[in-house]
Amino acid sequence: MDSNTELITAIAHQVSAYLKQAIQQREVAGEPVTLATLETELRECLRQTGAQALSEFLSTALGTPEATVPCACGERLHYQRRRRAVVLSVFGRVDYTRAYYAGCPCGHGKAPLDEHYGIEPGQVSAGLAKLLSLAGVELPFEHSARWLKAFLLFDVSENTVRQETQQMGQLQMEREADLAQQSQDEAYLQTRLRETRQVPQRLYGLIDAGKVRIEPRDSAEKAEKPGTAEAWRDMKLGCWCEAEAVPPAQRSVRQRGKYDREQAVYRAKNIRYYCDITDAATFGELLWARGVEAQADLAHELVFVCDGATWIWKLVERYYPNAVQIVDWYHAADRLERVAQVACAVDETRETWREEITEALWQGRVGEVIQACAALQRCEEAQDAATYFSNNEARMQYARFRAAGYMLGSGTVESGCKQIISQRLKCSGAQWSLAGAVQTAKARAAWLSGEWHALCARREALPLAA
């Protein structure tokens, strides 16, 4: 038995003895004892043990204090005393003492232990921050605090969960700002072009938007719009992804039906979301920055599948003029469904018209679709549809797109809108400031995109960076 195993075994014996004593006290008091009771007692014992162990470790970690240590200004700091500090960790509140230095002409002091372990006294530890922010990106902050108490066995305030979640979103904003600066650096782009060996064979770009309710909190903003309590703002959301065919054995009932109709079923993989509440031009800069990160500019084939929004296609044409552009098939087909509902009063006529014109669209005969809509001169919905199909005719060559093996639907980014905007930002009772909505959305997008480790690394470095 190695030393670690021996130590763990010894600790386990002591904890077991504590547990027996605690349970005996419950039994004497007539309280029922179940396995759940044992588990709760054990968890609380381990939590308190962890807090005490961490306190003792931090208080003795760096040994005997030196007489002086270097100051950031280049002078020397002098040992003063051992000063008490507190940090909120995954074990709860942890009190510890550490050597504190001051007496430099610059007027600053420091505790080397805090710098060494990345501790910000009085604040949440980086380890706990990960857990709080993960809860905050999944649940409303109020619910997160209650949910966390059941797991951590100590109280964390709703505001603390909010602060840590939005701090992660702020770190994602800073990360994206770094990417934006890098994506404009000609020297970096040239080096990257020479050194990159593996690039995506076929990469998809998808862009959409959803509404978020923003409540004006700033007094100047309220004064500017008196009587206005809230406003709905567009959160623009994009994603980069690749696609793979779904094997027959893994197809759902819906996918099997889709395969019978289309002879192909694809699913997205390696999905990376990004979002912001901003104007189209600024979002275009984010589109380019995240695209450079995803190697969109180097991909052998770049395909955008989006709805017919003009602002989206303008951005695509500006930043990726050589990309294949496809209007989401389901948006286009739904447009014909709406025309049929409005223009055709008789059910049988309506269904016949819809099936014939939808089949023409499916085969890429967009000219026929335009003519059929334009012929319904007394129907405003049909005339608008004729303009819609005319503006996007080149993006609706579905027969050719199917032959090339392209995805025809933008469901991946629509799923992102549901997960980030609808499920998190539009939850019942939610009231957002502009910054809070953006930061929370960016944190959730990072979590969904597998980028959490990058944010956690930035979070761990925060006290040192300060």
Question: What's the domain range around 24?
Answer: 3-59
End-to-end CA distance of the chain: 45
- Are 297 and 230 found together in one domain? yes
CB 320 within 8 A of CB 291: yes
Task: State how far the Cα of 307 lies from the Cα of 392, in Å rounded to an integer.
Answer: 10
Q: Is residue 283 part of a domain?
A: yes
For 121-136, what is the mean pLDDT? 95
∠ CA 310-314-317, rounded to 5°: 140
In this predicted model, what pLDDT tens digit does every residue of 360-395 receive, in sequence order?
A: 999 999 999 999 999 988 889 999 999 999 999 999
- Are 231 and 348 found together in one domain? no
pLDDT at 181: 97
Task: State how far the Cα of 43 lies from the Cα of 26, in Å rounded to an integer.
Answer: 16
User: Does 425 have pLDDT greater than 50?
Assistant: yes
Q: Quote the mean pLDDT of the chain.
A: 92
- Are 275 and 421 found together in one domain? yes
Chain centre to alpha carbon of residue 191 = 30
User: Does 1 have pLDDT greater than 80?
Assistant: no
In this predicted model, what pLDDT tens digit does every residue of 86-100 receive, in sequence order?
A: 999 999 999 999 999
* Nearest Cα to Cα of residue 302 among 388, 366, 243, 362: 243
For 207-231, what is the mean pLDDT? 73
pLDDT band at 217 (very low <50, low <70, confident <90, very high): low
**Domain-ending residue, one of 41, 59, 77:** 59
**Domain-ending residue, one of 40, 59, 78:** 59
Helix (H), strand (E) at residue 84: strand 76-89
Enter the tokens of residue 77: 């700091």
Task: State how far the Cα of 254 lies from the Cα of 454, in Å rounded to an integer.
Answer: 36
- Are 311 and 339 found together in one domain? no
- Are 317 and 420 found together in one domain? yes
Residue 160 burial class via C-beta count within 10 angstroms: exposed 0-12, middle 13-18, buried 19 and up = buried
User: Does 465 have pLDDT greater than 50?
Assistant: no
- Are 279 and 244 found together in one domain? yes
* Nearest Cα to Cα of residue 173 among 289, 75, 260, 323: 289
In this predicted model, what pLDDT tens digit does every residue of 2-49 receive, in sequence order?
A: 668 999 999 999 999 999 998 899 888 888 889 999 999 999 999 999
**Domain-ending residue, one of 42, 59, 76:** 59
For helices 452-465 and 434-448, the axis angle rounded to 10 degrees is 130
User: Does 464 have pLDDT greater than 80?
Assistant: no
Q: Is residue 425 part of a domain?
A: yes
Among all chains, which residue has been given the structure tokens 């959803």? 210
DSSP string, 231-258: EEEEEEEEEEEEEEEPPGGG--HHHHHH
Minimum mean pLDDT among 108-117, 136-145, 341-350: which range?
341-350
Q: Is residue 128 part of a domain?
A: no
- Are 309 and 220 found together in one domain? yes
68-70 vs 76-89, strand pairing mode: antiparallel
Task: State how far the Cα of 324 lies from the Cα of 397, in Å rounded to an integer.
Answer: 11
Task: State how far the Cα of 236 lies from the Cα of 442, in Å rounded to an integer.
Answer: 11
For 279-296, what is the mean pLDDT? 97
Task: State how far the Cα of 171 lies from the Cα of 443, in Å rounded to an integer.
Answer: 8
User: Does 439 have pLDDT greater than 50?
Assistant: yes
In this predicted model, what pLDDT tens digit does every residue of 301-338 receive, in sequence order?
A: 999 999 989 999 999 999 999 999 999 999 999 999 99
User: Does 203 have pLDDT greater than 80?
Assistant: yes
User: Does 61 have pLDDT greater than 70?
Assistant: yes
pLDDT at 218: 59
Q: Is residue 119 part of a domain?
A: no
Task: State how far the Cα of 200 lies from the Cα of 297, in Å rounded to an integer.
Answer: 10
Q: Is residue 152 part of a domain?
A: no
For 431-451, what is the mean pLDDT? 96
Which SS3 state, helix, strand or coil, does residue 338 take? helix
Q: Side by side, which strands form the sheet with 76-89?
A: 68-70, 76-89, 92-102
- Are 449 and 387 found together in one domain? no
Task: State how far the Cα of 293 lies from the Cα of 181, in Å rounded to an integer.
Answer: 12
| Percent of the chain's residues with pLDDT above 70 | 95
- Are 272 and 419 found together in one domain? yes
Q: Is residue 464 part of a domain?
A: no
Enter the tokens of residue 15: 């904890």
Task: State how far the Cα of 439 lies from the Cα of 71, in Å rounded to an integer.
Answer: 35
- Are 242 and 375 found together in one domain? no
pLDDT at 223: 63
User: Does 343 have pLDDT greater than 90?
Assistant: no
Task: State how far the Cα of 266 lies from the Cα of 373, in Å rounded to an integer.
Answer: 31
pLDDT at 221: 55
- Are 303 and 430 found together in one domain? yes
- Are 284 and 317 found together in one domain? yes
In this predicted model, what pLDDT tens digit does every residue of 244-268 receive, in sequence order?
A: 998 988 888 888 877 777 778 889 9
Q: Is residue 80 part of a domain?
A: no
Residue 316 burial class via C-beta count within 10 angstroms: exposed 0-12, middle 13-18, buried 19 and up = buried
Give the total number of structural domains in the chain: 3
Which SS3 state, helix, strand or coil, does residue 184 take? coil
Q: Is residue 102 part of a domain?
A: no
Enter the tokens of residue 453: 């480790």
